[in-house]
Amino acid sequence: MSDEEDLFSQEMADVTPLSGKRSVVYLKTSSNAARREAVQAQLEALENPLTQGMLDIIPLDEALDYKDPGVQQGVLDKLRKGKYPPQATLNLTRKPVATCREELFAFYLSAQENQWRTLLIVHGRGREAGSHANIVRSYVARWLKQLEEVQAYCEALKQDGGAGACYVVLKKSAQAKQHNWEMHAKHSR
């Protein structure tokens, strides 16, 4: 026996072999409470990029409307017509601006985690330009532009809140892009 083999045998002398039985352990998916805790931990770890400072209030008669420069006009047109049903809704009515800021960022992180692409945000409208609801509405318009994954947003249809709400479309996650690619690659063969 060589020195290396001898050394190996000495090191392995007290090791017992694994049993012949092998069992597979399946981990349960996290509960809603665990998911909320994970999002909260993520919120605390990430700095909220949404700014609160000076605000240009959007006139009540001006519809909320935005699309990222790389997004096709057809996406915004379909969004306006309600062709992309919301996968999740956030209600910000009658809440302080600081709370709205935190909840919107948490909602955005949840959307990314759950791979939601279409969202409905209810912000309220208000009857006067300086009303609280219109201030929140104006902040929501600003904040959505500050979130990198937001492709487009627009005023919701009447049945979803009209001028007091907006639809939002987020970019596809890397996983969703990969899944799409795989599906289309299989069909094109």
Task: Tell me the pLDDT tens digit for each residue of 93-130.
Answer: 999 999 999 999 999 999 999 999 999 999 998 888 77
Q: What is the mean pLDDT of residues 158-177?
A: 87
Q: Is the pLDDT of residue 47 over 60?
A: yes
122 within 8 A of 92, measured Cβ to Cβ = yes
* Structure tokens, 92: 């910000």
Of 142, 131, 117, nearest to 54 by C-alpha is 142
What mean pLDDT is reported for the chain?
83
Question: Quick one: fold of 35-178?
Answer: Ribosomal Protein S8; Chain: A, domain 1 (3.30.1370)
Q: Is the pLDDT of residue 90 over 90?
A: yes
Output the pTM of the full model: 0.70
- Three-state DSSP state, 12: coil
